[in-house]
Amino acid sequence: MYKISEHKLLAPCIYGMKVYAPRVARAAQPGQFVIVRVGENGERIPLTICDYDREAGTITLVVQIIGASSRKICALKDGDSFTDFVGPLGHPSEFIYESEEKLRSTSRLFVAGGVGAAPVYPQVKWLQERGIQTDVIIGGKTKDYILLASEMRKLGARVHIATDDGSEGFNGLVTGLLEKLVEEGHHFDQVIAIGPMIMMKFVALTTKKYGIPTIASLNSLMVDGTGMCGACRVTVGGQTRFTCVDGPEFDAHQVDFDGAMRRSAMYREMEKKKDCQCMEKLSQESK
């Protein structure tokens, strides 16, 4: 169960892989995530779903090394398995419940930062496959970090690239490109932002300026992911909500991103230590 295939490097420290999990693949919808665990002492960590193949029974994941657990996942090889793999979790994207008419009459812009392109992909795919035109901004540090651009173009999406160093597309942040598109006269009824918290915060501030309704998909810390522990709580419109059962998508203009970022840093010191231990262990194993 949960066997890995097509494990490959996509960008520096970013890996893609397919995981055999037929129950999850059968039920997965755009906007949802999984919780995975590697090893008997492994922690449960949430990962976004990049794609699903119901026939083959696989889920595609994109994982960036940010700590010990993601490092362990990226060190796995084809034929290895996850110890546990559960999902799909969270609410699917709201648009999948919308009427054909509503879907067609809404112009959507996705804003993806870094590995945020992964969860954007199934949403764009779902819409494009139904003949609904989407626009996507994909941002990254350099052109090496731009993920899934050609895949989304293949789906028929209009893809706009922004890089911090100008090595591809717009020279600057995704918010700069977003402003440029709007100023040029592009009209968007809705923006869906997925990426680092700080990016989503500034996308929300930018779209608020233009009065564009915006959705953010939060990547809070989680333990069980099923609504039992409350680790993923976040303040939305002054109310405490649980990302795992109430989200992960929320009205970006209502989210307290500063609070959410503070909470994300909760275990950072401990995680750094664990990651150093993990690196040592992995390098010993490879010797």
Partner 1 sequence: MAVKIPRVYPQEQDPKVRSTNFEEVCYGFTSEEAILEASRCLDCKNPRCVQACPVNVQIPAFIRELKKGDVEAAAAVIARDSALPAICGRVCPQETQCEGSCVLGIKGEAVSIGKLERYTADTMRAMGKKVKVEVQPSNGHKVAVIGSGPAGLACAGELATRGYTVKIFEALHTAGGVLSYGIPEFRLPKEKVVVAEIQNVKDLGVEIETNVIVGRTVTIDSLMEEDGYEAVFVGSGAGLPNFMGIEGENLNGVVSANEFLTRANLMHAYQSDADTPIYVGHRVVVVGGGNVAMDAARTAKRLGADVTVVYRRTEKELPARVEEVHHAMEEGINFSFLTNPTAIHGDEKGFVTSITCVKMELGEPDEGGRRRPMVIEGSQHDIDADVVIMSLGTSPNPLIKMTTPGLETGRRGTLTATADGATTREGVFAGGDAVTGAATVILAMGAGRRAAAAIDAYIQEKNK
Contact positions toward partner 1, by CB under 8 A? 23-24, 27, 32, 37, 39, 41-44, 68-69, 72, 83-89, 223-224, 226-231, 233-235, 240, 242, 245, 259, 262-263, 265-267, 270-271, 274
Least CB distance from residue 104 to partner 1, whole Å? 28
Q: Of 43 and 249, which CB lies nearer to partner 1 in the complex structure?
A: 43
Q: How far is the CB of 46 from partner 1 (least distance, A)?
A: 13
C-beta closer to partner 1: residue 51 or 135? 51
Report in angstroms how near the CB of residue 203 gets to partner 1 at its nearest.
22
Nearer to partner 1, 149 or 197 (CB): 197
Closest C-alpha to 125, from 55, 20, 51: 51
CB of 211 to partner 1, least distance (A): 28
CB of 41 to partner 1, least distance (A): 5
Sign of CA dihedral 164, 169, 175, 176: positive
Choose between 144 and 256: whose C-beta lies nearer to partner 1.
Answer: 256
In angstroms, what is the minimal distance from the CB of 136 to partner 1? 27
**Residue (138 or 197) nearer to partner 1, CB:** 197
| Smaller CB separation from partner 1, 55 or 183 | 55
